[in-house]
Amino acid sequence: MSKQSISEIKVLLAKLDDLNDPLVQKLKDDPRKGVQAALVQFEKRLLKRAQAQIAFKRRFTYEEELWLAGNQYVAGIDEVGRGPLAGPVVTCAVILNRNFDLVGVTDSKQLTRHEREQLYLRILDEAVEVSLAVSPAEEIDRLNIYAATQAAMIRSVKSMHHRPSHLIVDAVPLDIPIPQTTLIKGDQKSISVAAASIVAKEYRDHLMAIYDRLYPGYDFASNMGYGTAAHLEGLKKFGACPIHRTSFRPVTDYLN
């Protein structure tokens, strides 16, 4: 083993997932500091993965209890985009099954853009069903942001082919005749809600990138409609565009 370079040993360790592997035991006797440092990193990686598995299982608690109670289809529901000055609110309902094992699924705000993109594609592929609904700026201005969010969430549930027998909703109770569990910060407590938050976030980000091309000058592709300095500068220069929420300050100050 001592004939192998430290780089080669790191490659071998990257393929292992067991602290009791005979190779690991042999490497513990290797006197080279680089090898011992590689072993420390290997152990940290396995510990981090074990912790992620535990956290994942904990975030599946609500779904497991509901499945045991006889609920075949449990839908997690979340929204993205309540705070921006422009663009829609996007809501998503996701139904998962017991075999769902994407350990990386968590609150979308805790993920990098690349991580969200990869998980988004896998959730679409592995979920029992995913349903999206959009509440545009006009509806937000007409109803108010809270009511528009509720309306979009209800639409995302009603358009599902698999009718849920129970909903897990992030923060917003829905006026719909289906039993519900409403959770504060539900995307941190329920895998179904977290999956919905990732899909909604990615879908809305893609929409805002399209709007950036349609309405240049506000930096929508970067700020997603939030009130950044570049966005406010665009409002001062061009006034409000068709996707701005005219009931939101300071958009009301820049209406043409």
For 128-150, write each residue's pLDDT tens digit. Answer: 999 999 999 999 999 999 999 99
φ/ψ (deg, to 5) at 155: -60, -40
Q: Answer whether residue 84 shows pLDDT above 90.
A: yes
For 157-167, write each residue's pLDDT tens digit. Answer: 999 999 999 99
Q: How confident is the model at residue 1 (pLDDT cuts 50, 70, 90)?
A: very low
Q: Taking a C-beta distance cutoff of 8 angstroms, is the pair 237, 252 a contact?
A: no
> Given this model, what pLDDT does residue 104 score?
66
3-state secondary structure of 183: strand
Percentage of residues of the chain with pLDDT beyond 70: 95
Question: DSSP secondary-structure letter at 86?
Answer: B
Give 208: exposed, middle or buried? Use CB within 10 Å, 0-12, 13-18, 19+: buried
Range with the largest mean pLDDT of 11-25, 100-114, 151-165: 151-165
Give the Cα separation of 196 and 253 in Å (integer): 34
Q: Output 156 or 108, whichever has higher pLDDT.
A: 156
How much is the average pLDDT of 151-178? 96
Q: Which two tokens stand for residue 121?
A: 């594609």
Instruction: Provide the total of helices (H) and of strands (E) in the chain, helices listed first.
Output: 10, 5
Give 95: exposed, middle or buried? Use CB within 10 Å, 0-12, 13-18, 19+: buried
List of domains in the chain: 6-58 (no CATH), 61-210 (3.30.420.10), 214-254 (no CATH)
Q: Output 18 or 182, whichever has higher pLDDT.
A: 182
Give the Cα separation of 181 and 169 in Å (integer): 6
For 21-76, write each residue's pLDDT tens digit. Answer: 787 778 787 888 888 888 878 887 777 776 677 777 778 899 999 999 999 999 99
